[in-house]
Structure 1
Amino acid sequence: MNWYVIYTKPKWEKKVAEKLEQSGIDCYCPIITQIKQWSDRKKKVEVPLFNSYVFVRLEEADRNSVFQVSGVVRYLFWLGKPAIVKDEEIEIIKSSLKSPNIADVTVTSIQVGDKIKLESGAFSNQEAIVQEVSNTHYILILESLGCVLKIKYK
């Protein structure tokens, strides 16, 4: 069985994951806790690590079964084929999120095009290519996961 990435309607990640589990489909929606600031208060809120993405583990022949769950839009494709995520990559995400102290990733003296290895946080031990460097953030390409990561820093 492979892990596939499904694209959901915006803000439906947790609902879709719950419905998939109720349908007996093995799925994973990585959740992180953020502090949200409103004009009158701050609150801890659980939000998906990847917006509009849920990972599902199933056989190739059973791929269409996810479309019976409302909120599922399509599969994520990489190079014309459904994106497959390795078991080790899912385990890295799971173990990193279990860490009580997920540190912000900060990198110094990097240039666009540099290949770096992330040393901490949810994507530790992942290789990335630097796409953009600005005064407030970095944009990294994680080829192994087929995604772009934006890291904000102070």
Structure 2
Amino acid sequence: MTLNSGSPAAAHFATGIDDSTPRWFAVYTLHKREKLVSKRLQERGITAYVPLLKYTRRYTRKIKHVELPLINGYVFVNITKKDYVHVLETPDVLHYVRFNRQLVAIPDAEIHILHRVTGEGIEVDTQPLDQFQPGDEVEIIAGNLTGLRGKLLEQQHKNFLIELTHLGLSLRIQVNARMLMRARG
């Protein structure tokens, strides 16, 4: 089925997207195509973001620096309703990320957190949400990640597993206990 941006079907699938104010959404891509999809979307005039982590790979004869996606298969797009179908028409885009069959906008604050996490050089390990039990709401109160809020899922010494609910994933980050507090209200 092909959707054009004016069709009733496109309007039905694009519920939750504002006509005038761009909002962030996540799309799934084919395996290892995140950077290519981001480039193609940007060529179409659509704001796209792939959080990348830098790794150093050491081989027998050389050292290679690579950038790999923080979240495999995800590209974040900042769109209005008119761009909904254009994103889906981009080669290697599979579909929008939905929770309980609903398209969910990702708050700007969580996109900014991804920018800060990937810019920090912190080692990050993503885990699916369904493997953990919910815990206390926490906030980082010191350092460059100040303001990061989420659920504390697990603690092992100085390693805290923090869930960002709108993204549907968890980030394992190393934070000193003095830099954490329970989130208020």
Contact 1:133–1:139 (8 Å) recurs in 2? yes
1:125: how far off? 2.2
Q: Does 1:2 align with 2:23?
A: yes
Residue 102 of structure 1 corresponds to 121
Choose 1 or 2 for highest CA Rg. 2
Pairs within 5 Å for 1:48-87: 48-87=69-108
Contact 2:137–2:151 (8 Å) recurs in 1? yes
Residue 149 of structure 1 corresponds to 171
Segments of structure 2 that go 5 or more residues without pairing to the other structure are 1-21, 125-133, 176-185
Superposition RMSD in Å: 3.1
Q: Does 1:20 align with 2:12?
A: no
**CA–CA distance in structure 2, aligned partners of residues 73 and 113 of structure 1:** 33
1:55: how far off? 0.7
2:137 to 111, 115, 128: 115
1:58: how far off? 1.2
**TM-score where L is the length of structure 1:** 0.73
Residue 128 of structure 1 corresponds to 150
**CA–CA distance in structure 1, aligned partners of residues 161 and 61 of structure 2:** 32
1:120: how far off? 5.0
Residue 179 of structure 2 corresponds to none
1:17: how far off? 0.2
Q: 1:120 to 1:41 in 2, by over 3 A?
A: farther
1:104: how far off? 5.2
Moved more, 21-30 or 8-17: 21-30
**CA–CA distance in structure 1, aligned partners of residues 98 and 121 of structure 2:** 29
Q: 1:103 to 1:26 in 2, by over 3 A?
A: closer
How many residues get paired?
144
Segments of structure 1 that go 5 or more residues without pairing to the other structure are 106-111
More helix by share: 2
1:24: how far off? 1.6
In percent, how many aligned pairs have the same letter?
27
**CA–CA distance in structure 1, aligned partners of residues 143 and 123 of structure 2:** 8
Contact 1:102–1:120 (8 Å) recurs in 2? no
